[in-house]
Structure 1
Amino acid sequence: MKLSTREDIEAPAGTVFAAASDFAAFERTALRRGAEVARADLSAPPGPGTAWSIRFPLRGRMRRIVCTLDHFDPPNALSCRIDGSGFGGVMTVNLVALSRGRTRLAVQLEILPRTIAARLLIQTARLNRGAYTRRFVERVQKFAADVELREAQRRGG
Structure 2
Amino acid sequence: MKFSSTEDIEAPIDAVFRAVSNFNTIERSALRRGARVQRVDRKTHPSTRIAWDVGFSFRGKKRDMLIELTEFDEPNRLLAQSLSGGLEGEVMVNLVALSKNRTRMLIDIDLKPKTLSARLMVQSMRLAKTKLTKRYHLKVAGFASGIEDRFKNGKLG
Shorter-normalised TM range: over 0.9
Q: Distance in 1 between matches of 2:83 and 2:38?
A: 15
- Any unmatched runs of 5+ in structure 2? none
Instruction: Report the count of equivalent residues.
Output: 155
1:153 is matched with which residue?
153
Deviations 1:54-111 (A, max 9, x none): 0110011011111100000111000001111111011000000000000000000000
TM-score, normalised via structure 1 length: 0.95
1:59 is matched with which residue?
59
1:133 is matched with which residue?
133
How far apart are residue 42 of structure 1 and its match? Answer: 4.0
Secondary structure of 2:44's aligned partner: coil
Secondary structure of 2:16's aligned partner: helix
1:3-152 counterparts in 2 under 5 A? 3-152=3-152
Secondary structure of 1:123's aligned partner: helix
Q: Distance in 1 between matches of 2:145 and 2:89?
A: 26
CA RMSD, aligned part only? 1.2
Give the conservation status (yes or no) of the 8 Å contact 2:43–2:49: no
2:2 is matched with which residue?
2
Q: Could you tell which deviates more after superposition, 46-55 or 111-120?
A: 46-55
TM-score, normalised via structure 2 length: 0.95
Identity of aligned residues (%): 42
Give the conservation status (yes or no) of the 8 Å contact 1:71–1:78: yes
Give the conservation status (yes or no) of the 8 Å contact 2:43–2:50: no
Q: Distance in 1 between matches of 2:72 and 2:145?
A: 23
Q: Distance in 2 between matches of 1:65 and 1:43?
A: 19
Deviations 1:94-129 (A, max 9, x none): 000000000000000000000000000000011011
- Any unmatched runs of 5+ in structure 1? none
Q: Distance in 1 between matches of 2:7 and 2:42?
A: 31
Q: Distance in 1 between matches of 2:110 and 2:43?
A: 30
